[in-house]
A and B are shown apart, each in its own frame.
Chain A
Amino acid sequence: QVQLQESGPGLVKPSETLSLTCTVSGGSMSSFYWSWIRQSPGTGLEWMGYIYYSGTTNYNPSLKSRVTMSVDTSKNQFSLKLSSVTAADTAVYYCARVYSSSSTVFDYWGQGTLVTVSS
């Protein structure tokens, strides 16, 4: 059974960079796309982007200038960095696995981690 677990600071100051890591267990990262999705009361569920196990990325244009994703298959981890954060970036952040290249839906999710942007 694949499991995902987000980790990182729960509080980030405005203008700083939010950094989260997702650790994958119970399965290989190979041949899968891995995504970050966030959820806030104001904007609902928002797909932030994905990273392929090989390192190829695709970001949501609404965040493209601020988001960076990376992967370390040797550690079974992938990461998210979101720069220049504001209060609008306060949300629950989920990491998730993309089911397949033909059905790009999310079949496994982490439990989510709340990140608050505040000074």
Chain B
Amino acid sequence: AIRMTQSPSSFSASTGDRVTITCRASQGISSYLAWYQQKPGKAPKLLIYAASTLQSGVPSRFTGSGSGTDFTLTVSCLQSEDFATYYCQQYYSYPWTFGQGTKVEIK
């Protein structure tokens, strides 16, 4: 199975900050990568797929980039509702796998 490793595991930030989360695949996955946001007690929400395509309804402050093994999720201007845990997911090969998550906390 392809292992997805996110960094950092958690960090603190302030509203208005630009933040970047990294996801690395254990082997090349082209652009078959998605990002999800999860808030406590809720299901994950799809933000981005195909590494950089914004899901309908997701604010444009979220951007994804990368291909191959290294990917990033950037939030250009952090809002209060963005404090959450973010997960990457590869769908290049079975079994589809997720990263361990990155928790973005309020500083």
Contacts and interface: CB of A to CB of B under 8 A. Distances in A.
Contacts of A107: 46, 55
Contacts of B94: 58, 60-61
A58 B99 CA distance: 21
A30 interface: no
21 contacts: A44-B87, A44-B99, A44-B100, A45-B89, A47-B97, A58-B94, A60-B94, A61-B1, A61-B94, A62-B95, A99-B49, A103-B34, A103-B50, A103-B91, A106-B34, A106-B36, A107-B46, A109-B44, A110-B43, A111-B42, A112-B43
Interface of A: 44-47, 58, 60-62, 94, 96, 99, 103-107, 109-112
Nearest to B43: A109
A72 B47 CA distance: 30
